[in-house]
Structure 1
Amino acid sequence: MDERRTAPRMRTLLSGKIMLGGGGVIDCMLRNRSATGARLQVPSIVGIPDHFTLLIEPAGERHPVRVAWRKQTEIGVAFVDGGE
């Protein structure tokens, strides 16, 4: 399989929140991350938009992201900026 990522991902187990534009929140778990993105485990991909803000707890990091791929209970996201 060809590796298409621009930065290597490291395994992690961090809690996070998908911050929706209308004020809603979806809990998620970061399964791995890199300087450019992350793999999120979610209860369902239903209702998750193509762009949102990812809050990584407990550090309080916020990253605007875009969805790169979706599976039934996982999504891959790319950070749109360098984050905080």
Structure 2
Amino acid sequence: MLDRRSAPRTFLNETGSISVDEHRSLPCIVYDRSVGGVRVALPEADIVPDRFVLSIDGSSEILICRAVWRKAEEIGAATNDPKAGRSSRTSLRREAAPA
């Protein structure tokens, strides 16, 4: 079988949640992901909108996703830059004023 992926996948098998709207989220399993994509499974895949927010529990990442393909209980989605979802700490130290 021809593999059309542009980047290698990392198998995760972690829990997560998909935000369906402002008031409801659905639990899911994040099977695998790559730099620009993710594969998730959930029983109610048919009610997930084409664009959704995915939270991965194990890494505390939040990804903006766009569904690319769907099967019965799986969704393959393109994601935003993986570094954009990670929290980054900025230094709040002040430089000492010259004397």
TM-score (norm 2): 0.76
What displacement does 1:24 show? Answer: 0.7
Question: 2:72 matched to which residue of 1?
Answer: 72
Ranges of 4+ aligned residues in structure 1 off by more than 4 Å:
none
Structure 2 unaligned residues grouped into runs of 5+: 87-99
Query: Unaligned regions of 5+ residues in structure 1, if any?
Result: none
**If you compute each CA radius of gyration, which structure gives the higher value, 1 or 2?**
2
Deviations 1:19-76 (A, max 9, x none): 1223210100011111111110111222100001100003211000000100001010
Counterpart for residue 33 of structure 2: 33
SS at match of 1:7: coil
- Equivalence map 1:1-84=2 (5 Å): 1-82=1-82, 83-84=85-86
Give the structure with the higher percent strand. Answer: 1
Q: Report which structure shows greater RCO (CA 8 Å, sep ≥6).
A: 1
Q: Distance in 1 between matches of 2:53 and 2:5?
A: 21
The percentage of counterpart residues that share the same residue type is: 36
Aligned CA-pair RMSD: 1.3
- Measured in 1, the distance between the counterparts of 2:48 and 2:65 equals 12
Partner Cα distance (2:79, 2:49) in 1: 14
TM-score normalized by the length of structure 1: 0.88
